[in-house]
Amino acid sequence: MANKIATDNKVSVVSISWGACEPDRSPSEMDAVSNGIKQGTAEGISFFAASGDDGSKDCARSQTGATVDAVDYPASDPNVTGVGGTTLKLNGTGYGSETTWSRGGGGTSTHFAVPGYQAGVNGKRTVPDVASDADPATGYSIFSAGAWQVYGGTSCAAPMWAAWAALADAKLGHKLGNANPTLYQVGKGANAAKAFHDITTGSNGTFRAGAGYDQTTGWGSYDGAGLAAALAG
């Protein structure tokens, strides 16, 4: 799929709501997909992927009783923006606050080396990079099968970030490509508080949220206008 997207070169943003825990994929399989993703980002395509819905133990669903921490691929690919999950609370005027969604995926890759934009852990890539509302209890109202239903999961959070990236491309007048280097630069900069809602409470199992980047919600969720303004300089 990634190779075809890169070869066709007809899109600027890709949202990925599927994935599997890294131990369920062979290194050669991940590398084959990653080569296509890398080619796509070189063409200016941005990839956003769900970080998983099993907390810090991403293999819990495929390997019953799994107790070892693991992360979800392709969210763990350094050329993909991994999107974690939050629980969103609204107030009378709109946005209120967010906490970590307890089932949002996050942790340390066992396959990918730490990229230049990230500090990493033990020389390995960490995820997620960012987050958005993913708790089914505070999720998205979608009209399906003749009725309104509420959905959640990081499979809903990733498209939210992809939609923001498409709008940012239009506002900036150019493609972001791999958004991670830019997002991390903003997260470490003076405008971070205007660009991101930093999630500082909650955990996904092994990892706890804190100020700045963490392995539960990354840099946090976006303030759409604030992040776009930070990118525009």
- Asked if pLDDT for residue 6 goes beyond 60, the answer is no
The domain segmentation of the chain, as residue ranges, is 2-227
Mean pLDDT of the chain: 93
Separation between Cα atoms, residue 141 and residue 84, nearest integer Å: 19
Q: Please calculate the CA angle 159-162-165 and round it to the nearest 5 degrees.
A: 155
pLDDT at 123: 94
pLDDT at 9: 66
pLDDT tens-place string over residues 115-133: 999 988 889 999 999 999 9
Q: State mean pLDDT over 99-107.
A: 98
For residue 23, whether the previous peptide bond is cis, meaning omega lies within 30 degrees of 0, is no
The CA–CA distances, whole Å, from 4 to 41, 141, 159 equal 13, 32, 20
- Asked if pLDDT for residue 64 goes beyond 70, the answer is no
pLDDT tens-place string over residues 127-167: 999 999 999 999 999 999 999 999 999 999 999 999 999 99
Reference 132, options 153, 148, 150; nearest CA is 153
pLDDT at 116: 96
DSSP string, 91-131: ETTEEEEEEE-TT---EEEEEEEPPTT---BTTEEEE-SEE
Q: Is 69 in a helix, a strand, or coil?
A: coil
Q: Which two tokens stand for residue 49?
A: 């992927």
> Given this structure, which CATH class describes domain 2-227?
alpha beta
Helix axes 224-232, 154-172, angle to 10 degrees: 40
pLDDT tens-place string over residues 205-226: 999 999 999 999 999 999 999 9
Q: How sure is the predictor about 61, in pLDDT bands with cuts at 50, 70 and 90?
A: confident
Q: Is 5 in a helix, a strand, or coil?
A: helix
pLDDT tens-place string over residues 167-177: 999 999 999 99
Q: pTM for the full model?
A: 0.94
DSSP 8-state class, residue 208: B
Alpha helical stretches, state H, 13-53? 27-42
Q: Which two tokens stand for residue 108?
A: 């340390």
